[in-house]
Structure 1
Amino acid sequence: MRTVFPTKELRDEAVEKYHATEGGKQTFGNLATYVADLAEETSDTPSPDRAARVRVHSFSVSIDGFGVGEGQRLETPFGHAGTRLLEWALPTRTFQEMGFHDEQEASNGVDEAFASRWNTGIGAEIMGRNKFAPKLGPWPNEEWRGWWGDNPPFHTPVIVLTHHPRPPLEMEGGTSFHFLDAGPAEALEKARELAKGRDIRIGGGASTIRQFLQADLIDEMHIVVVPIVLGRGERLWDGLEELEQRFRIESVTSPSGVIHMTFWRRG
């Protein structure tokens, strides 16, 4: 596992350009600028020379690896975890602009530098049924339109994986939900059609991301380790032994206490 700078050349560049150094003397404001500049290198316009990538962004897990708590339902969409897995993100400018309001003023620090990449270059998302709705099984009706109101924050087509397909749902702001009974490979093929050359985000939950990892279909991941212990719920890492052999891993610790881990496919 590596830390902030993957090569000596990048470290020297950051030291000279941003006056940032690794270790205890790291200036977090300068680090945020460095990460933000890296994020800007990802163009929002698809290039014919660049293959679309499959990405995970801003997915939070507890120290013991749970991506959601036990007891998900309408009143508690994250189960007994409450909002604790998201507390690092709520103050960021990106999440506040998506409608996740927080009492604090919008921040532009390290957490925002990572959060801001959430939608950069994304043309479609794939999510599990539990991310879209509080219950599994047949739909009692088609009145449920997601957790996010009439104008969800995605602004792209979204594939919802479910054993109970229903007609597509068009929302405001460019979001459309497409309900598909399919495995990871078939869902990804459909997402590529909808994304029109842009990248595809695997939005969660934990079991959906795990299935795509097991199928070796993810190119890049941003996982946020939150310093809480949940003890029960849906774990991300089960059955993924030796995952580190497939990815180059970098980590950055934020003043908020979370660890931003970025996984890049080797080769």
Structure 2
Amino acid sequence: MQALSLAFLAFLLYLAAASWQGMVLLRRASPQPLLVRGMALLGLLSHLPLAIGLFGHGAPVLPGLSTSVILISAGVVAVLLLVSLFKPILNAAVGILPVAGLALLLAAGLPSPERVEGLTPGIALHALSSLLAFAVLAIAAVQAVLLGLQNRALRQHHIRGLVQALPPLTTMERVLFELIWGGVGLLTLSILSGFLFLDSMFAQHLAHKTILSLAAWVIFSVLLFSHYRLGWRGMRAVRWTLGGYGVLLVAYFGSKFVLEVLLGRG
């Protein structure tokens, strides 16, 4: 019950922060980055006890769906708050925070998550780089959606509203590719550390994640190469970013959802 209460409090705080930033994008409220970050940080502080409580001591286990959701959603929010201090990405809170809050609320309502135990340094490196890669690329995906909306509005000569609330188009694109570069670097570290420190990246319980993670890495790498060599940008960059992130999303949660939720297997 305490876990569910904390999850609900985090959800409300995340939703409040996202709602204010959404009103800023609609030009119905003045920008208040300290307020948005403050509410999101309070939500994260309500979220963290649930994440920290998942760690213990013993033999290593493969995290299940609820554990993965609680840990990764906390990581995404933390990365968003940190990076927003240096890059103009706070608008991504409109998409990131409600999803993180809802995911946490749903995960807290699932059967009690198992504890993540006995992490060796190598496995911890793999887990941390995987989490950070997912977080950075999640922010990139929301940034891509905002960039797509901005592109469409400019093509239709709608220069008020969302277009005025967002940074200039060139800034939005630059930040998108910076996020993708960072995410691909972390994803590379995740894949390499997995091959080095996990028993078998192509074992039955990891094969789908490995193959789809490699596919996502290829998609993002092609996008970065084509942006550098061929000048890919605009809606093409948006589509490839969302496609790559969709594959990564299935890699991280696809089989867990099917096995644990649809088929009811632990």
Could you state the TM-score of these two structures normalised by the residue count of structure 1? 0.27
Q: Flag the structure with higher strand content.
A: 1
Larger RCO, structure (CA 8 Å, separation 6 or more): 1
Q: Higher helix fraction: Structure 1 or Structure 2?
A: 2
